[in-house]
Structure 1
Amino acid sequence: MKHLEALAGHEIFTRVGRIADSMGMEAYVVGGFVRDYLLGRGLKKDIDFVCVGSGIELATAVAKSYDAHVPLSVFKNFGTAMVKLADYDIEFVGARKESYHRDSRKPIVEDGTLEEDQERRDFTINALAICVNGDRFGELIDPFEGLKDLKRKIIRTPAAPDTTFSDDPLRMMRAIRFAAQLQFDIEPETFEGICRNAGRLSIISQERIIDELNKIILCPQPSYGFKLLFVSGLLQEFFPEMVELQGVDSVGDRSHKDNFYHTLQVLDNISKHTDNLWLRWAAIMHDIAKPATKRYSQKVGWTFHGHEDKGARMTPGIFKRLKLPMDERMKYVQKLVRLHLRPIALVSDKVTDSAVRRLLFDAGDEIEDLMTLCRADVTSKNNARVKRYLANFDKVEQKMLEVEEKDQVRNFQPPVSGEEIMELFQLKPSKIVGELKNEIKEAILEGEIQNNREEALAFLTKLAALRGITQTKKNEL
């Protein structure tokens, strides 16, 4: 079967084939490039070549074949080499077979045949190889029926699933990631292998796990991947707090909704509007403290009072354990978790400008993202109710625009600084300075004074007089 006809004019394939012929080597393009090419997903910028022989020698010859300097990186310990060519990263490796000790992820690597190299790969759709040698250019080598699995939209392992997943447990995460990205099914025996080997994920570093998880989160419909993670038992291995969201408690005829599936719906909803990974993480985390705050009251039924504040307090610990960044990105997620209920309280016609000012001040530059999260959080099966809530959010956003245009409180700093207060009243750094500055801020948020220096200084004069503080630089007031 001939493939790559459309790529025959792409010089890298013909060049590698010509050089491999001159060295007496078989050479093949393999892996994700072949998979995506056959799926019509466009040309990946990462191209992997396997040769029956030394990948380093082939890469070196290819790099030297260009008149201009071509960067070559050699990794002798792994038997691989990388050629950087324009926008392409081209990796070369010799065909090999691998075996593993049960308690280690480090393989014992030996030279192997092409088929042995294909069998050691994670899935049949990634085990496809296309020859680039001159007389066989475009010939598909598919001993494990990967092409058929592409057409059937199936994720399946070339070797026995228990062998594949026990050797490298990260492949279980990759199976679910590919299923989510491609919207494929995982073949039943392969999925059962994931379920049986879920506990093996413990030997994988958290960094590698989270890298796969983030790719799932960035899928168009991430809930599909999370459901597979949950059912397989993998999610419990690294994110038990999310697993605890699942389930419904009832007292009589009073039940609460399943917060796990609600969270997944919020995640899908928000994914329709943003590719921001951290806004998607805020959707995942927004109700994470509901199990810890769940209470039942005879008067009102099930409650989760304070889950937004407790969720914000839980965020740093979860991020640290998952090896997510402990920087402004974590603080961004934490902030949205803490504030995600605030806009809901503003849907009343009786809401004051003061409440809107405070939300604008507290949310700052994240106000638009917060509103996107709030809209995604509307998941009722009652369509009329959903429309009503979204219409109310429209009103809140309009109110925000009006208040911000008038008062400019978003991210504002009090018009009089602490240093100025100390200078005006000859005060040393102290509690009173902070109190005066805070009272100016509160007066602006409450609408008692406008957000400008003139009114702030006049207000400060009155505050100082009430506290018996003498002005020392009256001309500046």
Structure 2
Amino acid sequence: MISSKPLDIPCSLQERKVLEKIALAAHDLGVPAYLIGGFVRDKLLGRRTKDMDVVCVGDGIALAHQVAAALGDNVPVAFFKTYGTAQVKWHEFEIEFVGARKESYRRESRNPEVVAGTLQDDQNRRDFTINALAVSLRDADYGTLIDPFEGLADLDLKMIRTPLEPAQTFSDDPLRMMRAIRFASQLQFTIADNAFKAIQENAERIRIITQERITDEFNKIMLSPKPSVGLDLLYKAGLLKIIFPQMIDMVGVEMYEGKGHKDNFYHTLQVVDNISVHTHDLWLRWAALLHDIGKPATKKFEPGHGWTFHGHDAVGGKMVTRIFTKFKLPLHDKMKLVRKLVELHLRPISLTKENITDSAIRRLLFDAGDDIESLMLLCEADITSKNKSKVKRYLENFELVRARLKEVEESDRIRNWQPPVTGEMIMETFALKPGRIVGDLKNAIREAILDGEIANTYEAAYAFMLEKAKALELTPVK
């Protein structure tokens, strides 16, 4: 019985049952099958995963249908005949099936010419030794780990190596260069010297990869436990200047009259790491990445003062839209959130000074809305001084700002607020059509409430509107 045979990787009882179903289905079809790749790697590393890749020496689609039938419950099979692949979803598991194959590449494309192959051929085409690990699901050696490239040793060494010669591996499929860096960042591994050198030598090849695939790998780097590891490797490999040149503009320190500014690139990487300690939200990490992106365009040396970056928040906000468009990221809610945070990231800092009015607090609450907590998180992450007493002082100041925000919010309820007198009310009161006068009156009411000039009530706003209307020679209709 298969169930009596041990596995060379740790698996739960449920996982063992799924693997046994696959093994029995493969036996019935007479095709050797193997569990391969990320599931094997992650199980050996003790990482949680439910995505299984199964390769068989035969028809992967046929095996997928056989497994689906064995699992019961009318499990559907999604298959792609052109690529010879299939997917079965069952409970929390996603199982990919493919026939073993051998690949060859043309220099101008990352799309390989594929022919049927052996398990060895399939392992040869894998990107890294730690992803070429396989576990047999055959009767004869069920559960045995098959490790032709010493991937198990590389897991122990925390090393990213390629099964074959690295220059060929990366030239064949340049996306593997970003995958190497992504795995180094996700797993906190080191890329082997010869592999990293090959990435540097083949960096220009990344240009043949579609933006969608580049963005997918970049986002996975951004979601890694310490994104700076991957971002710094992208820079040192020469990939960042190709895929994200705006980041390269922030690199380095310029000196003039003995005064220099901080390296905004490495400061940014630290801010991304800082915010990543507190949130897994991809878009807050993007906000941290882009918060100072406008600094190179606004950098100026002022004699007697030093380097300034006046207006980099506004310039950076405009750049967010262009960068999201280029990266093919969501251009609606997500882009608007990141742009808002970039444009507002200096505001809470200005509120740490003495004698800040309630009006300034109201305006920040109004402008930030429900994103005020995200903004404060970004501002706290922006503190990267190595001076511990300075960091402590800044954080204490932000706590005072938080207290003021809470106090004003509780008294004025200004977050996500709209003036009590609407544009429709103004038009009805004065028999006006939509236009500049209606907008001016509405803005005047809003500004008066935010400045604390009038109370945030319908009665006060309506009376203020009538007073302002007199100056415009407007008369309420009867």
Could you tell me the TM-score, scaled by structure 1's length? 0.96
Question: How far apart, in 1, do the equivalents of 2:136 and 2:202 lie?
Answer: 35
2:299 to 282, 286, 294: 294
Which has the larger displacement, 55-64 or 111-120?
55-64
Specify the code of the residue in structure 2 equivalent to 1:29.
L
Q: Which amino acid aligns with 2:17?
A: E
> Which residue number corresponds to residue 340 of structure 1?
345
Paired residue for 2:99, among 85, 88, 94? Answer: 94
Q: Name 1:46's counterpart in structure 2.
A: 51
Q: 1:344 to 1:128 in 2, by over 3 A?
A: same
72-81 or 170-179: which moved more?
Answer: 72-81
Structure 1 equivalent of residue 203 of structure 2: 198
- Provide the rounded CA distance (Å) in 2 between the counterparts of 1:443 and 1:8: 66
**Deviation, structure 1 residue 62:** 2.0
TM-score (norm 2): 0.96
- Equivalent residue number for residue 62 of structure 2: 57
Q: Determine which of 30, 35, 42 is the counterpart of 1:29.
A: 35
Deviation at 1:39, TM superposition (A): 0.9
Q: Match of 2:312?
A: 307
Partners of 1:8 and 1:14 within 8 A in 2 = no
Which aligned pairs between 1:320-331 and structure 2 lie closer than 5 A?
A: 320-331=325-336
Distance, in Å, in 2 between the alignment partners of 1:65 and 1:363 is: 54
- Measured in 2, the distance between the counterparts of 1:158 and 1:8 equals 32
Map of 1:16 onto structure 2: 22
Amino acid at match of 2:476: Q
**Correspondent of 2:90 among 82, 85, 94:** 85
The 1:296/1:2 distance shift into structure 2, 3 A limit, reads: same
Q: Is 2:232 the partner of 1:232?
A: no
Instruction: Give the % identical residues.
Output: 57
Offset, 1:92: 1.4
Distance 1:28 1:352, change over 3 A: same
Q: Deviations over 1:402-449 (max 9, x none)?
A: 111111221211111111112112223232111111111011011011
Confirm or deny: 8 A CA contact 2:55 2:97 kept in the other structure: yes
SS of the aligned residue for 1:279 comes to helix
Cα displacement string for residues 220-272 of structure 1 (whole angstroms, at most 9, x for unaligned residues): 11001101000001111110000110000001321100000000011011111
Contact 2:21 2:71 in 1 (8 A): no
Taking the TM superposition and a 5 Å limit, the aligned residue runs for 1:81-230 are 81-230=86-235
Q: Compared with structure 1, are the counterparts of its residues 453 and 103 closer, same or farther at alpha carbon in structure 2 (3 Å cutoff)?
A: same
- Alignment correspondent of 1:268: 273
Question: What's the offset of the Cα at 1:7?
Answer: 5.2
Partner of residue 366 from structure 2, selected from 358, 361, 365:
361
User: Secondary structure, in 3 states, of the residue corresponding to 2:35?
Assistant: strand
Q: Equivalents in 1 of 2:94, 2:7: separation in Å?
A: 25
Give the conservation status (yes or no) of the 8 Å contact 1:198–1:233.
Answer: yes
Moved >6 Å (runs of 4+): none
Partner of residue 350 from structure 1, selected from 349, 355, 359:
355
**CA-CA distance at 1:373 after TM superposition:** 0.6
SS at structure 2 position matched to 1:136: coil
Deviation at 1:5, TM superposition (A): 6.5
Cα pair 1:14 1:134 within 8 Å, conserved = no
Question: How many angstroms apart in 1 are the aligned matches of 2:72 and 2:420?
Answer: 63
What do residues 62-121 of structure 1 show as CA deviations (whole Å, max 9, x unaligned)? 223344312112211111122222221111111111001000121100111111110100
1:53 Cα deviation from its structure 2 partner: 1.6
Give the Cα–Cα distance (whole angstroms) in 1 for the partners of residues 218 and 341 of structure 2. 21
Q: Tell me if structure 2 keeps the 8 A contact 1:7–1:13.
A: no
Structure 2: runs of 5 or more not aligned: 1-5
Corresponding residue number in structure 1 for 2:398: 393
